[in-house]
Homo-oligomer: A and B are copies of this chain.
Amino acid sequence: MDGTGWRPVKRTRTFEDVLAQIERRIAEDGLTVGDRLPAERHLAEQLGVSRSSVREAMRVLETLGVVSSQAGRGPDAGAVLTSRPDSALSDLLRLHLGLTGLEMREVIDTRHMIEQWAAARAATRAATRAATGGAATTELAAAVAGMDAAGSPEEFVEHDTAFHCAIADASGNRLVAAIMRSLRDSMRKYSVEAVRRLGDTSVLRADHVRILEAIDGGDPEEAARAVSEHLAHAYPTLFR
């Protein structure tokens, strides 16, 4: 009999408890990237749980990209705190796409949104630091060159991905950049197929140059427009 609103009685598995305590320690002790966590055996003993439970907690943290484990001895061994959300996000997207809990259309729309924003932001940043002289578009130019030299759709997409991720990096927002990388990662096969269907990539090249120049010229609106039209060219079936 339930339904009386009596008790959810949240039973928490012990590895979740371990997880919570590790997170608390990170916050309270101000641990940060590069710091080491205690060894699994020590943690198990100090927390009064089995090593298996500690290991499951470690597996979760590793999956989320906050620790990186290394066997052996010395300063580099053990569980070290890191901050690499990229692969975690990629795994997440890939698996959920595989379960059709998400559709490619949604991924592409999200990418459209992010990339317009990132390009505009990158252009703004380029404009405000024009005096410093440092062109942040060397990576973009290199990616364009890579696409020119590509001998296959796979290779083309490789450099195309680098180009668009560089735009996200240039926005200066690491969260947006991480999301962008994982989006591109999970779109790879789809992009290769799109390029193959397209055949001629000269239109895409012109788009890329236009985007690059808009960013370099510090024109956010033009950058966003250029990105939008570029995506319409790359995925003509999706944007009517």
Contacts and interface: CB of A to CB of B under 8 A. Distances in A.
Given A85-B101, A106-B175, A95 B66 contact: yes
A176 interface: yes
A142 interface: no
Contact of A96 (B15, B66, B92, B101): B66
A192 B113 CA distance: 28
A91 interface: yes
B59 A99 contact: no
B95 A23 contact: yes
A106 B173 contact: yes
Contact of A100 (B32, B52, B60, B96): B32
B27 A98 contact: yes
A179 interface: yes
Contacts of A26: 98-99
A49 interface: no
A89 interface: yes
A23 B73 CA distance: 33
Contacts of A76: none
Nearest to A99: B83
A220 B166 CA distance: 29
A87 to B, nearest CB: 11
Nearest to A183: B175
A17 interface: no
A101 B33 contact: yes
B95 A92 contact: no
Interface string A62-106: 011110000000000000010101001101110110111110001
A154 B237 CA distance: 45
26 contacts: A23-B95, A26-B98, A26-B99, A27-B98, A31-B99, A33-B99, A52-B52, A56-B59, A59-B60, A61-B95, A64-B91, A66-B99, A83-B96, A85-B96, A85-B102, A88-B92, A92-B92, A102-B174, A106-B174, A109-B173, A110-B175, A110-B176, A110-B179, A113-B114, A117-B117, A179-B179
Interface of A: 15, 23, 26-27, 31-33, 52, 55-56, 59-61, 63-66, 81, 83, 85, 88-89, 91-93, 95-96, 98-102, 106-107, 109-110, 113-114, 117, 173-176, 179
